Amino acid sequence: MIERFEVEETNEMIEHENLDVRTITMGISLFDCVTPDLSRLCDNVYRKITDSAADLVKTGNDISEEYGIPIVNKRISVSPMALIGASACRKPEDFVKLAKAMDMAAEETGVNLIGGYSALVPKGMTESDRMLMESLPQALTSTDRVCSSVNAASTKTGINMDAVRLMGHVIKEVAEASSDSHGAACMKYVLFCNAPDDNPFMAGAFHGVTEGDRVINVGVSGPGVVKRALEKVRGESFDVLCETIKKTAFKVTRVGQLVAMEASRRLDVPFGIVDLSLAPTPAVGDSVADILCEIGLESAGAPGTTAALALLNDQVKKGGVMAGSYVGGLSGAFIPESEDQGMIDAVNKGSITIEKLEAMTCVCSVGLDMVAIPGDTSEETIAGIAADEMAIGMVNGKTTAIRLIPAVGLGVGDTVSFGGLFGSAPVMKVNSFDCSAFVNRPGRIPAPIQSFRN
């Protein structure tokens, strides 16, 4: 029999510590839509998405109501569009039409974002991949809900520097195309190394090519719950600290698992994975940076930050893995700049720099996420930052990514506001020494040796 204190604990987490299920994401394969006729392809894509996800939002809302747990986002990810559009698209503008079909389908189903306007190019690019990337400035500014990702590197293949260089250029163009909002369209685009096929989180979600026809993936959150639990063990040893994080991650993940199984059953779509990530929001008390402070740092970025984050990331996984039957996606702690009030404060105080963030990405689950950089940063410098991040992922066999926002018209000391869950970001200083001779070399960086790990 459930005890009163257990009910109170759960409801306290939901009401006061921002416990929520961050997203139910339905992955949909679009391979059966492929046809060389572009307008038929757009129709097929629209119909497949709207048919498959017709009940997604309602089901999410029903589950949320019945269990009393907020389910913040309902989203869709689709097969990488560079593959789906390969036989029908002859120019970048053709891909934009596909993006618009995705956008319309997302609006019809009521989801807030749709991912999968993506290309997988860790080793080489097809003409179709290139056209999709070149279409991004138009695609991301002429749609509201479409998110895009490019996987440009992996541990097995190395780093496709041609793609990284092209993306440096494209990120600048996307920023310029959305200059009225200081480059905000860039927040709908992410560049990956070792991208997971089953990530439910945006902007990087796409439906992997090895997945089934449809799948339900769920992303859980709960930085506030971990922070509150750690307040009770101040000054205790590392084993007590780790045990507390594990137990909390376990409880949070169990909720995600329950929601995932229930959504899968009601929608009659196979359950894929639970992504057990600590995903912060700009809400006060929902911050990963605050957890780092609770562990014992004056501010995120202080010496010890990387170690504290490594510990946090590992314990979240250890606690969560036991709570879920299938764990996947990005699982770990997210450290976005703009979506975490503690992180924003740390940037404003000068305690965290882009270089320290880069070091932190070696031990957390993502990369340089939602980081605003000066609008006049060159495309070569952006490619250089991207290459560094890809190298960290490639050598360490982990996912890394960049989601940079060149804040057009703004410089260090200014702040870009994105609104809602995306928060606002102080523009960070970027090392301005030139790397163009490096990033302009054609070709790719070979895959790293997997032995002699020093």
Residues that bind other proteins in the complex, under the rule CB under 8 A: 1-4, 6-7, 9-11, 62, 65-69, 251, 254-255, 257-258
User: How far apart are CB 326 and other proteins at their closest, in Å?
Assistant: 15
Q: How far apart (Å, rounded) are the C-alpha atoms in residues 14 and 67?
A: 11
Angle between helices 238-267 and 56-67 (to 10 degrees): 130
Counting DSSP H helices and E strands in the chain, the numbers are 15, 14
* Beta-carbon count within 10 A of 231 CB: 10
Q: Closest separation between CB of residue 261 and other proteins, Å?
A: 9
- Looking at the Cβ atoms of 218 and 392, the one nearer to other proteins is 218
Whole-number minimum distance, CB 259 to other proteins, in Å? 9
Report the alpha-carbon distance of residue 135 to residue 126 in Å, rounded: 14
Nearer to other proteins, 260 or 410 (CB): 260
Q: Are strands 158-160 and 146-154 parallel, antiparallel or unpaired?
A: antiparallel
**How near is the Cβ of 10 to other proteins at its closest, in Å?**
6
- CB closer to other proteins out of 2 and 437: 2
Tell me the CA distances in angstroms from 296 to 104, 241, 407, one per residue in order.
47, 11, 33
Spatial distance between the Cα atoms of 230 and 10, rounded to a whole number of angstroms: 16
Least distance in angstroms from the C-beta of 258 to other proteins: 4
* C-alpha–C-alpha distance, residues 430 and 382, integer Å: 9
Name 418's Cβ contacts closer than 8 Å, sequence gap at least 6: 184, 187, 338, 370, 424, 425
Which residues, at least 6 apart from 4, have a Cβ–Cβ distance to it below 8 Å? none
Q: How far is CA 23 from CA 39, 69, 167, in A?
A: 31, 12, 28
Structure tokens at 444: 């790719």
Question: What Å distances lie between residue 441 and 19, 159, 163, 170, 446, CA to CA?
Answer: 47, 12, 12, 18, 13
Max CA distance (Å), the chain: 68
**Given the complex with other proteins, which of 20 and 389 has the nearer CB atom?**
20
If the CB atoms of residues 1 and 437 are measured against other proteins, the closer one turns out to be 1
Please state the closest distance from residue 217 (CB atom) to other proteins, in A.
18
Cβ at position 241, least distance to other proteins in Å: 21
Phi-psi region of 420 (alpha: psi -120 to 50; beta: other; left: phi over 0): left
Considering the complex, state which of residue 11 and residue 440 has its C-beta at the smaller distance from other proteins: 11
Assigned token pair, 319:
């606690």
CB nearer to other proteins: pick between 55 and 376: 55
**Considering the complex, what minimum distance in angstroms separates the CB of residue 256 from other proteins?**
10
Which of 305/315 has CB closer to other proteins? Answer: 315
Nearest residue (CB) to other proteins, 9 versus 51:
9
Tell me the three state secondary structure of residue 17: coil
Q: How far is CA 206 from CA 76, 199, 389, in A?
A: 8, 7, 20
Shortest Cβ 64–other proteins spacing (Å): 11
Of 69 and 218, the one with the shorter C-beta distance to other proteins is 69
Rounded Cα gap, residues 326 and 377, in angstroms: 41
CA distances from 95 to 85, 102, 125 (A): 7, 11, 16
Our CB check for other proteins shows the closer of 251 and 444 to be 251
User: Which residues partner with 346 through β-bridges?
Assistant: none
Which of residues 3 and 268 has its CB atom nearest to other proteins in the complex?
3
Minimal distance, residue 55 CB to other proteins, in Å:
15
Rounded to a whole number of angstroms, the minimum distance from the CB of residue 253 to other proteins is 9
As measured in angstroms, the least distance from the Cβ of 188 to other proteins is 33
